[in-house]
Amino acid sequence: MRAWPSPAVPRLDDLGTARTPSLFDTASGSVVATSPDGPARMYVCGITPYDATHIGHAATYVAFDLLYRAWLDAGHEVRYVQNVTDIDDPLLERARATGADWAELAERETELFRVDMQALRVLAPQGYVGAVESISTITEMIERLQRLGHAYEVDADVYFSVHADPAFGQVSGLDEPRMIDLFAERGGDPGRPGKKHPLDCLLWQAERPGEPAWDSGLGRGRPGWHVECSAIALEYLGERFDVQGGGSDLVFPHHEMTASEAQAAFDGLRFAQTYVHAGMVGYGGEKMSKSKGNLVLVSQLHDSGTDPMALRLALLRHHYRSDWNWTDADLRRAQTWLTDWRVAVRESSGSGRGAATAPVVHEVREALADDLDAPSATEAVRRWSVATNEGADRSEQGAGDVIRRLVDARLGIDLG
């Protein structure tokens, strides 16, 4: 699939080097150093394109964009893959409910997502990969699991025996009753008769009347959700890739199942090294979700004249791991900050003078290297803008040129 155009990332080499970032790893429950061996490899779970991008999606993709930028500044190349779940139950349900063609709906919403990501200056993945274009990669993995005896049929559907992976449970660390509850809540079918274990998950769903289906050695049908990400990640990144990412709603079952399917398919394989999860953004006290309909859409804000850079700054004012509620006040505050930053940068560029930049460069880099602490990084820039605008410190000529580059490269905000 085509991704979207990436903005250029200014180089900061003349400002010294950044530390390779550490991240909170859900699986170990601790902050761990990333240590890319060659290019840093990242897989972030993409959208299910049946509705427009909301602030929650935007916050998650901006969080991983910070990681991409952190690796670049630390001198690493980055290989980034993101999927598009362009065939799944919610997409088919929405298409049925609205009388739309499922493939057209998916293409339309994916295109809107591209436009939103571009407006937010999110760096594009080099591999933007749909499930539909990956059917043969996915069926190869399922057939492999079958050959190894790790899959079985219920009616004509194919299930994965989750305990075929001895490491099953290591991503979420949850106990079995909790897993079963979450599985039922999040699209699983723990009670289906004929399954060997309630947590076993669907790999291949046999063709249902009126639904799209593909021919394969498994019969006509379509892939289950989790195996899509197992197969795409291994195909494009290989094993032991650095970061598997997404929102915290994906910890269980999605990332648990994704890892276990890949690990069971290849004996001794380790899927990702680090599992990184963004907190949930709510609106009106509930998780913002397409199914609940309590959405604040990126495109709506944009259409009504919101500067996407103010939106991006509003998102960065929350630590990516925290759960938080969107309010209009967030946006107003971010707009004020952004205006102050722009004034400070403009007035202290070229022959203008502003507050010393070396401490800001250091603080921004250190904050972001420490589990992507964007609130502290933005606070450092704000202190600089206040000192510059109030004239408390005008010790450095051309300070604005440094801060403009820093804020662009590390925070993805264009100060003009």
Residues that constitute the known binding site = 45-48, 60, 83-85, 225, 229, 247-249, 254, 281
CB 43 within 8 A of CB 237: yes
DSSP string spanning 393-413? ---EETHHHHHHHHHHHHH--
Residues between 71 and 90 that touch ligand 5CA (CB under 6 A):
83, 85
- Told to check if 170 binds ligand 5CA by CB under 6 A, we report no
CB 271 within 8 A of CB 239: yes
Looking at beta carbons only, is 25 or 249 nearer to ligand 5CA?
A: 249
Bond into 177 cis (ω within 30) = no
Pairing of strands 22-25, 127-130: unpaired
Q: How far is CA 302 from CA 272, 289, 307, 312, in A?
A: 35, 19, 7, 12
Interface with ligand 5CA by CB under 6 A: which range of 45-53, 259-267, 309-317, 366-374? Answer: 45-53
Cβ neighbours of residue 332 closer than 8 Å, sequence gap 6 or more:
none
Nearest distance from C-beta of residue 206 to Zn ion, angstroms? 22
Looking at beta carbons only, is 77 or 133 nearer to ligand 5CA?
A: 133
Q: How many residues lie near ligand 5CA (CB under 6 A)?
A: 21
Number of residues that this document lists for the chain:
416
Applying CB under 6 A, which of residues 221, 223, 224, 247 lies at the interface with ligand 5CA?
A: 247
Distance CA(278)–CA(226), nearest Å, equals: 19
Looking at beta carbons only, is 129 or 377 nearer to ligand 5CA?
A: 129
Work out what residue 48 binds among Zn ion, ligand 5CA, none; the CB cut-off runs from 5 to 8 Å by kind: ligand 5CA
- Told to check if 57 binds ligand 5CA by CB under 6 A, we report yes
Interface with ligand 5CA by CB under 6 A: which range of 92-100, 179-187, 281-289, 388-396? Answer: 281-289
Applying CB under 6 A, which of residues 65, 86, 109, 249 lies at the interface with ligand 5CA?
A: 249
CB 148 within 8 A of CB 101: no
Residues between 389 and 408 that touch ligand 5CA (CB under 6 A):
none
CB 356 within 8 A of CB 385: no
Work out what residue 278 binds among ligand 5CA, Zn ion, none; the CB cut-off runs from 5 to 8 Å by kind: ligand 5CA
Distance CA(29)–CA(285), nearest Å, equals: 26
Applying CB under 6 A, which of residues 234, 278, 368, 387 lies at the interface with ligand 5CA?
A: 278
Which pair of tokens denotes residue 83? Answer: 């999927």
Which pair of tokens denotes residue 352? Answer: 């203008």
Cross-strand partners of 202: 159
Q: Is 87 exposed, middle or buried (0-12, 13-18, 19+ CB in 10 A)?
A: buried
Cα distance between the two ends of the chain = 31
Give the residue nearest to Zn ion (CB).
45
Residue whose token pair is 């006509």? 220
- Told to check if 127 binds ligand 5CA by CB under 6 A, we report no
Cross-strand partners of 282: 287, 325
Rg over CA atoms, the chain: 23
Pairing of strands 396-397, 353-354: antiparallel
Applying CB under 6 A, which of residues 246, 253, 352, 354 lies at the interface with ligand 5CA?
A: 246
Nearest distance from C-beta of residue 296 to ligand 5CA, angstroms? 10
Work out what residue 403 binds among Zn ion, ligand 5CA, none; the CB cut-off runs from 5 to 8 Å by kind: none
- Told to check if 47 binds ligand 5CA by CB under 6 A, we report yes
Distance CA(378)–CA(386), nearest Å, equals: 12
Work out what residue 60 binds among Zn ion, ligand 5CA, none; the CB cut-off runs from 5 to 8 Å by kind: ligand 5CA
Nearest distance from C-beta of residue 255 to Zn ion, angstroms? 8
Binding-site residue positions for Zn(2+): 45, 229, 254
CB 74 within 8 A of CB 21: yes
Looking at beta carbons only, is 82 or 348 nearer to ligand 5CA?
A: 82
Nearest distance from C-beta of residue 134 to ligand 5CA, angstroms? 12
Work out what residue 281 binds among ligand 5CA, Zn ion, none; the CB cut-off runs from 5 to 8 Å by kind: ligand 5CA
Residues between 210 and 229 that touch ligand 5CA (CB under 6 A):
229
Interface residues toward ligand 5CA, by CB under 6 A: 45-48, 56-57, 59-60, 83, 85, 229, 246-247, 249-250, 278, 280-281, 287-289
